[in-house]
Amino acid sequence: MLLRRAGLRVTPQRVAVLETLATGRHLATCQNLWRRAQRRTAGLGLVTAYRILERMRDAGLVEQVDIRGVAHFGLADRHHDHTICQRCGTIEATDGCLLDTLAGKRLRGTGFLVQGHRLDLLGLCQACQQAV
């Protein structure tokens, strides 16, 4: 199981949060994940859900993206970039990586060696475009 491989104890609460993360395509706030995870296990508290997400993030199972001062979480199962709607705040993972070709290269002029990246594309989702 993923939790054990990451060095985390398997508990019903952690399993519920992990399964909830696995069912979503979008990144979600802790409060949103907590509401959905409560359907899987009774008695899951908001503070417990946040601590679980922090531990999973520290273990590399979960990614955290901060948008407008609010933490959003998603599974760190593969590298992906994000599109972020500046009107409604919807965050989606992209299907591919736009900057893979930079990995292992040095940036001209600085000698900086690229080992990874995080790309957030800002704009308007389709629903917000249609509402304009």
Looking up residue 61, the CATH number of its domain turns out to be 1.10.10.10
Quick one: which of 32, 8, 10, 9 has its CA closest to 20?
Answer: 32
Distance CA(1)–CA(85), nearest Å, equals 34
Question: What's the CA gap between 56 and 75, in Å, rounded?
Answer: 9
Chain mean position to CA 57: 9
Domain that residue 92 falls in: 82-131
Put simply, whether the predicted model's pTM sits higher than 0.75 gets the answer no
Number of folded domains in the chain?
2
- Kindly state whether residues 13 and 70 are assigned to the same domain: yes
CA-to-CA distance for 58 and 60, rounded, in angstroms? 5
Same domain, yes or no: 87 and 48: no
Q: 33 in helix, strand or coil?
A: helix
List the chain pLDDT tens, one digit each, 132 residues. Answer: 789 999 999 999 999 999 999 887 678 899 999 999 999 988 899 999 999 999 999 998 998 888 878 899 988 877 777 888 889 888 887 777 767 666 666 777 888 887 777 778 889 999 999 987
DSSP state of 100: G
Integer Cα distance of 129 and 132 in angstroms: 5
- Residues 47, 100, single domain; the answer is no
- The pLDDT of residue 32: 93
CA-nearest of 89, 96, 85, 90 to 121 is 85
> CB-based contacts of 9: which residues, under 8 Å, 6+ apart?
3
- In this structure, are 63 and 119 located in the same domain? no
CA distances from 10 to 4, 32, 50, 52 (A): 7, 22, 16, 11
